[in-house]
Amino acid sequence: MRLLAALAFAALLVADLVSAIAVVWSRHESRALFVELTRLENGRDELNVDFGRLELEQATWADPSRVEDMARSRFGMLNPPPADVELIQR
């Protein structure tokens, strides 16, 4: 009877130690994953800022008045006289 109680106590002690180690490991993994998540979120936020800046830059470069000004100044392009314009209907 005493041997059985000692074995049960030893089994419970081992189970308790395994459980404690599992809790420590689980918390460590949780913290490591949280740090990784935070790093990835910061990277996402930086990319979103860059994307917004690039959208603004694209809108600036593609502004119709800017394109027209460049066509006139750099390439010497002009609007055709009304006599040279033909309207084609489908």
pTM of the model as a whole: 0.60
Q: Assign 81 a pLDDT band (cuts: 50, 70, 90).
A: very high
Enter the tokens of residue 32. Answer: 């490591």
Does the pLDDT value for residue 19 go beyond 90? yes
Separation CA 48–CA 81 (nearest Å): 46
Tens of pLDDT, residue by residue over 27-80, are 999 999 999 999 999 999 999 999 999 999 999 999 999 989 999 999 999 989
CA distance 60 to 54: 10
List the alpha helices (DSSP H) in 2-63. 2-61
- DSSP-derived 3-state class of residue 25: helix
Cα–Cα distance for residue pair 44/50, rounded to 1 Å: 10
Q: Is 88 helix (H, G, I), strand (E, B) or coil?
A: coil
